Amino acid sequence: MIAEGETAPDFELETDSGESVRLSDFRGRPVVLYFYPKDNTPGCTKEACGIRDAWSEFERRGAAVLGVSADSVASHERFKAKYHLPFTLLADSEHRVAELYGTWQPKHFAGKSFLGMVRATFLIDTEGKVARVWPKVDPSKHADWVLAELPE
Amino acid 110: pLDDT: 79
Give the C-alpha separation, 124 to 127, whole Å: 8
Helices 142-149 & 42-53, crossing angle to 10 degrees? Answer: 40
- pLDDT tens per residue across span 105-130: 878 777 888 788 999 999 999 999 99
Q: Are strands 104-109 and 112-117 parallel, antiparallel or unpaired?
A: antiparallel
Predicted pLDDT of residue 113 = 82
Q: Torsions phi, psi of 24, nearest 5?
A: -65, -15
Q: Across all residues in the chain, what is the average pLDDT? A: 95
Its pTM stands at 0.95
CA distance to 53, 81, 134, 136, per residue, from 146 (Å): 13, 23, 9, 13
pLDDT at 114: 77
Q: What does the domain layout of the chain look like in residue ranges? A: 1-7+76-120
**pLDDT at site 109:** 77
The tens digit of pLDDT for each residue in 49-97 reads 999 999 999 999 999 999 999 999 999 999 999 999 999 999 999 999 9
Active-site amino acid positions: 44
**Distance of alpha carbon 72 from the chain centroid:** 15
